[in-house]
A and B are shown apart, each in its own frame.
Chain A
Amino acid sequence: MSIEIRHLSKQFGSFAALRDINLNIHSGELLALLGPSGSGKTTLLRVIAGLETADSGQVLFNNEDATSQPIQERQVGFVFQHYALFRNMTIFENVAFGLRVRPRQNRLRVQEIHERVTNLLKLVQLDWLADRYPHQLSGGQRQRIALARALAVEPKVLLLDEPFGALDAKVRKELRTWLRRLHDEMHITSIFVTHDQEEALEVSDRVVVMNEGCIEQIGTPDEVYERPANPFVYEFLGHVNLFHGRIHQGRAWIGDVEIDAPEHAEAEDLAAVAYVRPHDIEVDRVMNGESALPAQVVHILSVGPVVKLELVQKGNQNKNLIQVEISKERFRDLQLVKGDQVFIKPRRLDLFPHQLH
C-alpha cells in the first residue's frame, strides 16, 4: 500500500511538532524516519497510525483519504519502543489478540487462529515461548513478539517507533538485519523511526532526515550520506570536519588551499563553511603540490582496519580537532607518531555559505 502525506502540520501548545510535511511512500518500501529527538519523526509516525490527529493536512492510503479514518479500520500494524505487550496474557494470547477481538462475523475459527499464531511465532523463531508470559522474556524476544502480534492482523502498513531503542548494542544489530530480511520476504510497506543514523542507513530503502518538524532531505542511504543537502544533514550523518573559508566567483579558499567551487559561481566574497568527511582528507609528510594546510598529530587510534587521526590545524585560532581516517597501509608508509607535523588537503568537500549555518 502506498502512503501519501500532504501538507501535514501539528502543534503541541506553542511547539510545532510538524510543519507542512509532504512525503510519498512507495508500496512495499522500507522507509526510515531519521532525526534527533524533538524533530517530529515519532509524531509523524503516530499521525500516520491514527494515534495522533494532525491540525491540518491529509494522509492518503492508496490515494484514498484516511485522515479521519478510525485507528481500528486503518489496517496498520504498530510496534512500540517499549514493546507494549499485554502482561496478563501469554505470548500466544498476545499474538492472537488482534484475531480474537474481531467482530464475530469475520472472526476466524479457533483452529485457524491457532494455526496462524503458531506460524507467526515460528516466523519470529520463538514458537517455543508460546506459553510464557512477557516478563519471562528478554527485550529482544519481546520486541519480536510485538512484531508478530502486529503482523497477525495482516496489516497493509507496518509502523515501528524506535523498535530497537531499548535494546543493547548486540541485540540491536542482530534484530535490524533480521528486520531487513523479514521485510525482503514480506514486502509490506514499512516505516520505522530512529535517531540512530547507522541503523537508518543500514536497514532502509530510503531515509527521510527530519529536523525541527521539517524534512531536511529524502533519499537512498547513499544519497543522503554522500550528497547531504545541507549542513544539518551533513552533521547528523556521520563524522564531519568543518573548515572556515571564503568563496568568490566559483573559487573557494581555505587557508592557502584553493579549490574549484563551480556551484558558487554567483558568490561575491562570502564567508563559507566547508564540510569534509574524515576519509576524504589526504595526509602527507611534505607539502605535496601547490598548497596544503599544515597540521599537527595529537592523537592516533590504530585499532581496526582504519586508522583514526586527530589533528590540530596550525596557525589557526580555531582549535577544533580535525578527524582523519586513513588506511592501515597508508599509516605504515607515513610512519606517523604523536606530535608529527603533517600537511592535509581535502579530497572532496561541500561548501555552504556561512549565513546558512
Chain B
Amino acid sequence: MSTFKQHSVLPGFNLALGFTLLYLSLVVLIPLSAAFIRTAELNWPEFWATVTTPRVLASYRLTFGASFAAALTNAVFGLLVAWVLVRYHFPGKRVVDALIDLPFALPTAVAGIALTALYAGNGWIGRVLEPLGIKIAFTPLGVYVALTFIGLPFVVRTVQPVLEDIETELEEAAAMLGANRLQTFLRIIFPTIFPALMTGFALAFARAIGEYGSVIFIAGNMPMISEITPLLIITKLEQYDYTGATAIAVVMLVISFILLLIINLLQWWSRRRNALA
C-alpha cells in the first residue's frame, strides 16, 4: 500500500479509494460478474456451441462491423461539425449546437421509428434512393445509419472543447513560416486534437455496440443478414434461455473490453508522443 500511496495535502485517499471501489463493484462489477456466473452453468463445449452458431457469428460481424464503420464515419463528420461550430459564426449557430445533443436525449425507439419512416421504400429519402438500387431500411446499411445517428454527439462534444483551446496564434505562426492550410492542419491541429478524437471515437463505438432500440426498427432483423447481437440476446431471453443469453452477452463483453482497451492504449500512446502534459 505504502509503495504507491504518496503523501498528499489532499486528505482522504483511503476513504476515496474505498468508496470508488465499492461504487464500481455495486454498479459495474457485481452485475457483470453475475453474467459470468450464470454462464458458468454451461460446460465449455456447450458454451462454445452456443456462442459460435452461424447465426450468432453473423450477428457479431454485423454489430462490431457496423459499429466500427459508424464510429469511423462520426469521427470524420463529427470533427467537421465541431470545426464548423468552433470556427465559424453564422445565424442560428446556437440552435445547431443544441441540436447536436438531440441523439443523446431522444428515446432510441423514437429515433428508430423516425429513421425507418425516412429510409423505407416509401419514405422521403428511401423514395429517392430505392430507384437507384440503394436499399437502406431493413438491410445492414440501415443498422449503420442508425448507429451513426446515435454516435454523432460523442465525437462532436469531445473534440469541440479541444478545438476551442487551440490558439489562432499557432496557425498564424505556421502560416508565417510558409505552411499552407493543409500542412497546418496535418502537422499542428490534427496532432493536438487526435487524443480527443480517439476518445470520441471510442465512446461512439462503445455506444453503438450496445445500441438496441433504434436499430431493431430499421434493421428488419433478418437472421444471418440484419440481426444484431443485442437482439439475439433478447430473443434468447424471450425463449427463457437465460444461460444462452448470458453466454452471448459474456462474449460481447469480452470483445468490447478488449477493443476499448486497445483504443485506450492507442490514446495513451499518442498523448505521450504529443507530450500534452
CB contacts (< 8 Å) of B170 on chain A: these are 84, 86
Asked whether B172 is an interface residue with its Cβ less than 8 Å from the other chain, the reply is yes
Contact assessment for B176 and A133 in the assembled complex, using a CB-CB cutoff below 8 Å:
no
Q: Whose C-beta in chain B lies nearest to the C-beta of A161? A: B169
Q: In whole angstroms, how far apart are the Cα atoms of A133 and B277 in the complex?
A: 10
Contact assessment for A153 and B172 in the assembled complex, using a CB-CB cutoff below 8 Å:
no
Asked whether B175 is an interface residue with its Cβ less than 8 Å from the other chain, the reply is yes
Given A51-B172, A82-B169, A88-B191: A101 and B177 within 8 A (CB)?
A: yes
Q: In whole angstroms, how far apart are the Cα atoms of A88 and B173 in the complex?
A: 14
Q: In whole angstroms, how far apart are the Cα atoms of A97 and B184 in the complex?
A: 10
Given A87-B275, A97-B187, A135-B277: A102 and B178 within 8 A (CB)?
A: yes
Asked whether A243 is an interface residue with its Cβ less than 8 Å from the other chain, the reply is no
Q: Whose C-beta in chain A lies nearest to the C-beta of B172? A: A51
**For chain B residues 161-213, which have a beta carbon within 8 Å of chain A?**
167, 169-170, 172-180, 183, 187-188, 191-192
Contact assessment for B172 and A101 in the assembled complex, using a CB-CB cutoff below 8 Å:
no
Q: In whole angstroms, how far apart are the Cα atoms of A305 and B177 in the complex?
A: 47
Asked whether B276 is an interface residue with its Cβ less than 8 Å from the other chain, the reply is yes
Please, what's the 1-or-0 string for A314-333, where 1 marks a CB less than 8 Å from any CB in chain B? 00000000000000000000
Asked whether A78 is an interface residue with its Cβ less than 8 Å from the other chain, the reply is yes
23 A-B pairs within 8 Å (CB atoms) are namely A51-B172, A51-B175, A51-B176, A71-B176, A72-B178, A80-B169, A80-B172, A84-B173, A86-B187, A87-B275, A87-B276, A88-B275, A88-B276, A97-B174, A97-B187, A98-B178, A101-B174, A101-B180, A133-B275, A135-B277, A149-B173, A149-B177, A150-B176
Contact assessment for A101 and B183 in the assembled complex, using a CB-CB cutoff below 8 Å:
yes
**For chain B residues 100-154, which have a beta carbon within 8 Å of chain A?**
none
Q: In whole angstroms, how far apart are the Cα atoms of A145 and B195 in the complex?
A: 26
From residue A70, how far is it (CB to closest CB) to chain B in Å? 9
CB contacts (< 8 Å) of B275 on chain A: these are 87-88, 133, 135
B interface, over-half SS: helix
Q: Whose C-beta in chain A lies nearest to the C-beta of B182? A: A101
CB contacts (< 8 Å) of B179 on chain A: these are 72, 97-98, 101
CB contacts (< 8 Å) of A101 on chain B: these are 174, 177-180, 183, 187
CB contacts (< 8 Å) of B276 on chain A: these are 87-88
CB contacts (< 8 Å) of A71 on chain B: these are 175-176
Asked whether B25 is an interface residue with its Cβ less than 8 Å from the other chain, the reply is no
Asked whether A30 is an interface residue with its Cβ less than 8 Å from the other chain, the reply is no
Asked whether A49 is an interface residue with its Cβ less than 8 Å from the other chain, the reply is yes
CB contacts (< 8 Å) of B191 on chain A: these are 88
Q: In whole angstroms, how far apart are the Cα atoms of A82 and B169 in the complex?
A: 9
Q: In whole angstroms, how far apart are the Cα atoms of A143 and B72 in the complex?
A: 39
Asked whether A77 is an interface residue with its Cβ less than 8 Å from the other chain, the reply is yes
From residue A106, how far is it (CB to closest CB) to chain B in Å? 10
**For chain A residues 147-178, which have a beta carbon within 8 Å of chain B?**
149-150, 152-153
Please, what's the 1-or-0 string for A199-213, where 1 marks a CB less than 8 Å from any CB in chain B? 000000000000000
Q: Whose C-beta in chain A lies nearest to the C-beta of B177? A: A98
CB contacts (< 8 Å) of A102 on chain B: these are 178
Asked whether B52 is an interface residue with its Cβ less than 8 Å from the other chain, the reply is no
Please, what's the 1-or-0 string for A114-147, where 1 marks a CB less than 8 Å from any CB in chain B? 0000000000000000000101000000000000
Please, what's the 1-or-0 string for A82-117, where 1 marks a CB less than 8 Å from any CB in chain B? 101011100000000110011000000000000000
Contact assessment for B274 and A78 in the assembled complex, using a CB-CB cutoff below 8 Å:
no
Q: In whole angstroms, how far apart are the Cα atoms of A315 and B192 in the complex?
A: 67
Contact assessment for B176 and A82 in the assembled complex, using a CB-CB cutoff below 8 Å:
no
Q: Whose C-beta in chain B lies nearest to the C-beta of A90? A: B275
Q: Whose C-beta in chain A lies nearest to the C-beta of B176? A: A78
Of A84, A87, A153, the residue contacting B178 (CB under 8 A) is A153
Q: In whole angstroms, how far apart are the Cα atoms of A133 and B177 in the complex?
A: 19
Given A88-B192, A88-B275, A133-B275: A72 and B173 within 8 A (CB)?
A: no
Given A88-B191, A88-B192, A135-B277: A80 and B173 within 8 A (CB)?
A: yes
Q: Whose C-beta in chain A lies nearest to the C-beta of B180? A: A72
Q: In whole angstroms, how far apart are the Cα atoms of A52 and B179 in the complex?
A: 17
Contact assessment for B177 and A88 in the assembled complex, using a CB-CB cutoff below 8 Å:
no
Q: In whole angstroms, how far apart are the Cα atoms of A135 and B178 in the complex?
A: 24
Contact assessment for A78 and B178 in the assembled complex, using a CB-CB cutoff below 8 Å:
no
Most B CB atoms within 10 A — which of A78, A101, A149, A153?
A101
Contact assessment for B177 and A84 in the assembled complex, using a CB-CB cutoff below 8 Å:
no
**For chain B residues 260-275, which have a beta carbon within 8 Å of chain A?**
274-275
Q: Whose C-beta in chain A lies nearest to the C-beta of B186? A: A101
Q: A72-B179, A88-B192, A98-B178 are in contact. List 10 more A-B contacts (CB 8 A).
A: A76-B176, A84-B169, A84-B170, A86-B174, A87-B274, A88-B275, A97-B187, A101-B178, A101-B187, A149-B173
Contact assessment for B169 and A88 in the assembled complex, using a CB-CB cutoff below 8 Å:
no
